[in-house]
Amino acid sequence: MSGNDTSTELSIRLWNDAPKEPGAECHTVGYEHAVLEQYRLCVEMADRVSARRGLANSFFLTLNTGIITVVVALGRTPPPATTQWLAIPLVALLGQCFAWYYLVRSYRLLNCAKYQVVGALEERLPASPFWRAEWWALGEGKDRKRYWPLSHIEQWTPVLFALAYIAGFLATIVTTP
């Protein structure tokens, strides 16, 4: 589905049919107020998802920084007979990096959908500050010199920690006599 097809489908799914009662108007003050309230709610919910994503990132970043700190502080080479047992914590660490990566990805996709709905709601408002104006001013996330979405950058953090864990494991295996 192209971007325009997706936008059209979203608009079809977002808006209910016009009121069916005789004389009912779609653009009454009450209707416009309801659209504005739904818009506010959608923006607030998107903001809450961003806050939860930030909290999840803080948790995993603190956890992984703590793990690296403990490993470096201990800094002892394990006895040769126990080196293979390091694979168990490595698998656990890689598993939590995997969970972190997919959690960030899930939050990014959820927020993307929420902001598409916000944009569709802005079609019924007098102005489109986010969808048409701000997002356009940022180059719609396509030009990294203008704006590189944080959600794309933060997905690399768990990957980098996973690579550090693998490198540390391999360095331990190779340097243990």
Residues 11-35: b if buried by 16+ CB within 10 A, e if exposed: beeeeeeeeeeeeeeeeeeeeeeeb
The DSSP call for residue 139 is G
Say what the pLDDT of residue 78 is. Answer: 72
Q: pLDDT, tens digit, for every residue of 50-97?
A: 999 999 999 999 999 999 898 888 877 777 777 778 888 999 999 999
Q: How many CB atoms lie within 10 A of CB 140?
A: 12
Spatial distance between the Cα atoms of 2 and 30, rounded to a whole number of angstroms: 35
125-155 pLDDT per residue, tens: 888 888 888 888 888 878 878 888 777 788 8
pTM above 0.75, yes or no: yes
Question: What stretches of the chain show up as alpha helix (H) in DSSP?
Answer: 3-14, 29-74, 87-122, 135-137, 150-154, 156-175
